[in-house]
Homo-oligomer: A and B are copies of this chain.
């Protein structure tokens, strides 16, 4: 029996059929929350009803774009905490189709926050932002004061959405928390859709016993975060009293330690790692090394990541092997 920190609390999860969103939904159900999910199942964004199949009868699920004011009004009424995870995640897709990224990550968020003001103006909103907004780090580890300088359209629009959340707090007093997530991995990430980030590609190749291709020399650093740890960060961000009078907080959420892409790849496939030059466009949007300074978030909530990468990868591969029929071989949404 899990803790019941959310017992009887009404929560909405946007993007609740996606990778992080569905893991959060599982945890919220365990914690006793009354959970509503809004997810547009938009092709390429990672949403998948299979992700919540085991808890489906304990949820209200509304299949709609978060920018759909009518559908969202029904979902929002009386909510107490809103976990706002809907969005396009692909960096490379944002370059080939920036207008799609604008629509999904900026315009839809603008409309959704207007709906929040109308239907749930007291609810706390926790928004899933990304380390992507920082672009190529100018120093390490990266704290929240690091300049915002995204290297692709996805980063531009995630940052615009962050600003909308900040304005929601400043102009309209809605309590709002923005979490800038580092790279997250674990069960329920879409492996069949391309462009979901390097770790999904690495995991899919490991499961298929294919070699892993690393761009560059593999020395780039990342602080990989297991999805259960990021879920716990969201749970805490939804309930922990804000530390100042301002109804707004932005905080990094990082992994347990920085590690090289080589180490990440070797953990998955042993020596079956090939180093190849960056493709032209990837070289232009590569950010080099990144890891987070997330002391602000730890001090606020007491949170810390608990799952080391080696352990997290064991759990992740086991999950996908158990569900290989769906995640590896099923049809792509």
Q: Are A157 and B156 in contact (CB under 8 A)?
A: no
Q: Are B110 and A102 in contact (CB under 8 A)?
A: yes
Q: Are A148 and B148 in contact (CB under 8 A)?
A: yes
Contact partners of A285 in chain B: CB under 8 A:
171
Binary interface profile of A, 157-168, with partner B (CB < 8 Å = 1, else 0)? Answer: 101100110110
Contact partners of A256 in chain B: CB under 8 A:
none
> Chain B: which residue is nearest A113 at the CB level?
B98
Q: Are B95 and A111 in contact (CB under 8 A)?
A: no
CB distance from A312 to the nearest CB of B (A): 33
Query: With contacts A145-B147, A157-B160, A160-B160 known, is A281 near B110, CB below 8 A?
Result: no
A170 touches B (CB below 8 Å): yes
Contact partners of A159 in chain B: CB under 8 A:
160, 163
Which one, B98, B164, B167, contacts A110 given CB within 8 A?
B98
A40 touches B (CB below 8 Å): no
Residue from A145, A152, A163 with most neighbouring chain B CB atoms (10 Å)? A163
A153 touches B (CB below 8 Å): yes
Chain A interface bracket (under 10, 10 to 19, 20 to 34, 35 or more): 20 to 34
Q: Are B95 and A171 in contact (CB under 8 A)?
A: yes
A99 touches B (CB below 8 Å): yes
A160 to B105 alpha-carbon distance, docked (Å): 12
> Chain B: which residue is nearest A172 at the CB level?
B284
CB distance from A68 to the nearest CB of B (A): 14
A106 to B157 alpha-carbon distance, docked (Å): 10
CB distance from A49 to the nearest CB of B (A): 30
A167 to B96 alpha-carbon distance, docked (Å): 13
A106 to B163 alpha-carbon distance, docked (Å): 14
CB distance from A245 to the nearest CB of B (A): 15
Contact partners of A77 in chain B: CB under 8 A:
none
A273 touches B (CB below 8 Å): no
Contact partners of A281 in chain B: CB under 8 A:
171
Can you give 14 A-B contacts (C-beta < 8 A)? Answer: A95-B171, A99-B107, A102-B107, A106-B106, A147-B148, A148-B148, A151-B170, A153-B164, A153-B167, A155-B163, A157-B160, A159-B160, A171-B281, A171-B285
A residues with a Cβ closer than 8 A to B are 95, 98-99, 102, 106-107, 110-111, 114, 145, 147-153, 155-157, 159-160, 163-164, 166-167, 170-171, 281, 284-285
Given pairs A95-B171, A147-B147, A150-B163, 18 additional interface contacts (CB within 8 A): A98-B164, A99-B107, A102-B107, A102-B110, A106-B106, A110-B153, A149-B166, A151-B167, A151-B170, A152-B167, A156-B160, A156-B163, A156-B167, A157-B160, A159-B160, A160-B160, A170-B284, A171-B285
